[in-house]
Structure 1
Amino acid sequence: MDVHFKQLTGIDLKEMFLASLDKKGARLLKFLKTTRTERKKQVMRAAAKLDVSRGQLEGCSEDVKDILIFLLTYIDERQEVMFHHVEESFLAEDVVDELPVIPCIIVSGPSIYTSKMFMLGIDRQITTKHIPTFISALCMMFCSFYCFNIHYPVELASTLEFLQRCFFIINPDKGTKVESRKNKKQLPINPKVLTVITDLADHDWRTNS
């Protein structure tokens, strides 16, 4: 999938993600953690829950989990669309009917922080088992939208486009991976993505001024 993604986009998937994470990750995470605006109370509730879930865990992969959870909350998109939790002792044949059609990260156990195994699900099938790290699982889920020519689902459109533009550096002048909706105009850049970028820039300006 990595090779196919590079053929399609010219981008080394994981290398680009890690480079972008090194450059922008700490700044984005700080912004998402310290936002105090009234309309983002749900972000602060998510922060409290993450402190309990994460415990003493540290590391790059844990930071990425934080970024993704905060980002989904800030944009107001649902975690359960991206993550499908299964029992640690699950049997594949027992859960496939519960899986979504769209690509998703299958998490063994109740939390992405305590899970020791991640999997990739596409079209109600477990396509890749035993993915060693959360970062690898996230990269595989993202690239599957390109490798299998799947539109971003409306429920995750803003989060996936933010990852696309800010971490995988795919910025087309026109066109979008978001599935079309009747009677709704398609914009070159998702307004919610622009809002996050603008809020982040404003936060940086106020912090550094």
Structure 2
Amino acid sequence: MTPLMKKLQDVGVEKPDDLKFVQPEDFITLLKPIQKLMSACEQGKQPEASDRREMIRTIMSKIISTPDTQVGRNEIRMIAGKIVAKYPKSFADRINGETVGDGTITLLQQLENRRENESRKNTHKNFKRKAKADEVVSSVKDLDSYGCIKGRWEGEMVGADTEEIQEETRQALLKEYKESPDNWNQKNIDRWMEATFPLQRKDINSSELTVAAVLERWPFLVEQRWFSQHFQLLTGKDVEANTWASKAERLYAYLKSKASQQLEDTMNAIKDEMELTKNKMPITDHLPTMLAAYFGEKEATLICKYQDETRKRTPKEIEDELVLTPCIVIGGERQIQLAVDGKLMKSKIGITSLAKATKMLFEAFYVFSVSYPTSSTNTLDFIQRYVIGINPCSTKFPRGKQGKCASVPLRVIKLANELALFESDWCL
């Protein structure tokens, strides 16, 4: 049965006379996304989120694929403005039915996010780390150029089980995950997750599986304990909570002396939160916020906040606005979540603090082999080198025109040198 005939049957058409009762809206789902969007715009209605995303993808793909075309923020703003001017009712910003903006800025941001995502897709394959087999990390020679244990990115481990045995173990993990977290045998899970690390890496590196598909096959990777275990097996690094806290406090002590309005506002906000909570946890929680303020980078690329809105957004509404790179989501139906590839990682246990979420956020760039977004590269590179302690010869910043790995950002080196003078154990 063709889609058209099935649709006619679904809306109750049994004989030719019934066709006079059929409405155009009955066939809207059979139209292509752009046709559906245009139909909604012509009627002064807001298009569905999926159709809007398709429009944005189509526009930016066309621009990027056009040879010798240089499109900056002003040109993208002009495109957004023309779309909003032609269909003001369809693209206006609304909250609870009330118009709160014409929608130009919102559309501009979505177009810019798409441009960054399209550019990232073209460089993603360059960041697949290839390494030779090696068993133990004993020196810098045992690390590849991105700071992973040699061979681990590809899942190489000495004495690993056969893939058939690993698949049987994966099935046992799926069965265990169906249980309540209170009934999980953590020692067994620890052992099973380590034993299946090679198969996990194979799935993660597969071009046929999305991140969502990988997490469906390996649901324990959604939980912080085993996500961090995977990162530790990959890099040989594990940052204790007290190490993260102590370095955040030293950074806070140093940055308080810096003269910058954005930095001063951030420091004052952290100070106010400390006075309210009667502890220093806000310093640890806001480590990336401090760094983003110092470097003048976009915190919103790493942390998306929805908790102050008048209504809670659904997970689907949040995902419609997320970038592809890993980010922390605060608010919504769960207080703190990690998102990767534009999808929320739905944990059974949950993430109990912003500091733990930040640690998982950084780990996600390595676990899923994602290059740092250009708008946050200094912040993440500083965390990588001077908090986590991964100091390869290159950075995860996108490569240059000649394909060479980008060097360590100069501003990261400058901050490290300044901290070395401020307190000796922050030296390079």
* TM-score above 0.5: yes
Deviation at 1:182, TM superposition (A): 3.3
Q: Check conservation: 1:61, 1:134, Cα contact below 8 A.
A: no
RMSD value, Cα: 2.5
Q: After superposition, what is the alpha-carbon deviation per residue over 1:93-144, rounded to whole angstroms, capped at 9, x for unaligned? A: 12211011100000117xxxxxx82101111110134311112211111111
Q: Residue 147 of structure 1 corresponds to which residue in structure 2?
A: 367
Partner of 2:417: 198
2:415 is aligned with 1:189: no
Question: Of 34, 59, 78, which residue of structure 1 is paired with 2:257?
Answer: 34
Report the Cα distance in structure 1 between the residues aligned to 2:245 and 2:420, rounded to whole angstroms. 18
For the 8 Å contact 1:33–1:70, the answer to whether it is kept is no
Q: Deviations over 1:180-205 (max 9, x none)?
A: 24369644322111011122223348
In the other structure, the counterpart of 2:300 is 80
Q: Which residue of 1 aligns with 2:387?
A: 167
Q: Which one of 247, 259, 281 corresponds to residue 24 of structure 1?
A: 247
- Percentage of matched positions with identical amino acids: 26
Q: 1:10 aligns with which of 225, 228, 236?
A: 236
Instruction: Give 5+ residue unaligned stretches, structure 1.
Output: 110-115
Aligned residues: 192
Matched AA of 2:399: S
Q: CA 1:204–1:23 in structure 2 vs 1: closer, same or farther (change >3 Å)?
A: same
**Following TM superposition, by how much is the alpha carbon of 1:59 offset from its aligned partner in structure 2, in angstroms?**
3.5
2:378·2:409 contact (CA, 8 Å) conserved in 1? Answer: yes
Cα 1:148–1:64 shift into 2, 3 Å: same
Alignment of 1:125-136 (within 5 A): 125-129=343-347, 130-136=350-356
**Is this contact kept in 1: 2:395–2:407, CA < 8 A?**
yes
Opposite residue 401 of structure 2, the aligned amino acid is K
Letter in 2 for 1:145: F
Task: State the SS of the aligned residue for 1:150.
Answer: coil
SS at match of 2:388: coil
For 1:95 and 1:26, locate their aligned partners in 2 and report how far apart those are by CA, in whole Å.
32
Deviation at 1:169, TM superposition (A): 0.8
Give secondary structure in 2 for the equivalent of 1:34.
coil
Bigger RCO of structures 1 and 2 (CA < 8 A, at least 6 apart): 1
Which runs of 5 or more residues in structure 2 are unaligned?
A: 1-226
Could you give the per-residue CA deviations for residues 37-83 of structure 1, whole angstroms, max 9, x where no partner exists? xxx33211322344456651244531113433221111111111111
How far apart are the structure 1 equivalents of 2:245 and 2:317?
39
Equivalent position of 2:146 in the other structure: none
Larger radius of gyration: 2
- Which deviates more from structure 2 when the two are superposed, residues 181-190 or residues 156-165? 181-190
Q: Which has the higher strand share?
A: 1
Q: Output one character per residue of 1:147-191: Cα deviation in whole Å (capped at 9) or x when no partner.
A: 11111111111111111111111111x232112243696443221
